[in-house]
Each structure stands twice: as structure tokens, then as C-alpha cells.
């Protein structure tokens, strides 16, 4: 293996059991990231999948990814499909970015070029903030619809009627 080959890992995340059951989100994200890595000439060493909210930093696969990076002790590209698959909270986003950097990871995505210049940081902040807004808005809409459904006399969750 040549010394000029960069090593990469892939991180993909979905946020609900419904997404896992109904969709192919993890596989689709992984395929997109592998395609990007192949285009860039990266050797993919491992893939990390989480099935939980992007609003929290402590996730099993993210913890495993960070441990993997620390053990390698050499720069490794961390490929994500999109910024909202990395995090859906601005504070968590920058916490994870710092942890990745400290562990030797360099974040890349086929949908966004990360950089250290002022314009790149502004763009990243804006996109991370939009991701947070989308998460919060989804929660508000879900709560409002559940409330309206209850007001219309329906069970909010199918399992509720079984316990009565």
C-alpha cells in the first residue's frame, strides 16, 4: 500500500426505528460516502452507524468512531453524507468537531466542503443551525399533531389502546 493513500471511515446516522424499518437510510448514506471516498482515492477502513437523535453527542457509534481514531494515532478522514447526519444541534456539532479533531479525524462530505477560513466556518455554522432548527421544528409539529389527534378522539400511539 502506498503512503499517499489516505484512510477514511464512514459515519452514518438515522434517528428513529421507523426510519430503520421503512427506509434504507443507513445503506444509502454509506453508499454515497463510499462513492465519495472512492472518487477521492481513500481507503475505507470501517463504517459506523448510529440510530438515534442528532441532538445528542453521546452515541454508541460516535463513541466507537472516536475510540477508533484515537487508537490509530494518524490522520483519518471521517466521511459523512450530509451535515444533518453528523449533528442536529449547533453546540453538539462543534463539540463533536473538536473531539474528532483531537482524535485525528478530518471531517469531509460529498455535500459540503469544510474549511477553516471565515466563509467556510460561517457556512458550516449556518447549516448546523438550520439542522438544529429542522430537528426542533419536527418535534413541534409532532407534538402539535399528536395533541390534535387526541382532541379528535384518536389514540396517539397504537399500543395505548391495548393497555386499557
Residue 164 confidence (pLDDT) = 46
Residue 23 confidence (pLDDT) = 63
Note the pTM of the prediction, 2 decimals: 0.80
User: Three cell numbers at 65?
Assistant: 468512531
pLDDT in tens, the chain (164 residues): 445 789 999 999 998 665 655 667 899 999 999 999 999 999 999 999 999 988 899 999 999 999 999 999 899 999 999 999 999 899 999 999 999 999 999 999 999 999 999 998 899 889 888 887 887 887 788 788 888 888 888 877 665 544 44
Selection from 136, 126, 37, 129 nearest residue 78 by Cα: 37
Domains and CATH numbers, the chain: 6-163 (3.40.50.1390)
Residue 124 confidence (pLDDT) = 84
For the chain, percent helix, then strand, then coil, each to nearest 5? Answer: 55, 20, 25
Amino acid at each position: 500500500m502506498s503512503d499517499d493513500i489516505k484512510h477514511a471511515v464512514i459515519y452514518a446516522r438515522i434517528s428513529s426505528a421507523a426510519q430503520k424499518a421503512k427506509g434504507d437510510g443507513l445503506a444509502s448514506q454509506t453508499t454515497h460516502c463510499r462513492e465519495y471516498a472512492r472518487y477521492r482515492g481513500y481507503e475505507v477502513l470501517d463504517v459506523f452507524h448510529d440510530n438515534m437523535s442528532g441532538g445528542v453527542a453521546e452515541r454508541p457509534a460516535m463513541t466507537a468512531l472516536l475510540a477508533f481514531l484515537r487508537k490509530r494515532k494518524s490522520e483519518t478522514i471521517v466521511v459523512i453524507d450530509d451535515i444533518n447526519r453528523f449533528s442536529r444541534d449547533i453546540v453538539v456539532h462543534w463539540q463533536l468537531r473538536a473531539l474528532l479533531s483531537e482524535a485525528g479525524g478530518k471531517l469531509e462530505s460529498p455535500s459540503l466542503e469544510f474549511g477553516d477560513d471565515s466563509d467556510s466556518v460561517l457556512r458550516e455554522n449556518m447549516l448546523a443551525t438550520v439542522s438544529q432548527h429542522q430537528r426542533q421544528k419536527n418535534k413541534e409539529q409532532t407534538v402539535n399533531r399528536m395533541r390534535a389527534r387526541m382532541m379528535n378522539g384518536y389514540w396517539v400511539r397504537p399500543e395505548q389502546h391495548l393497555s386499557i
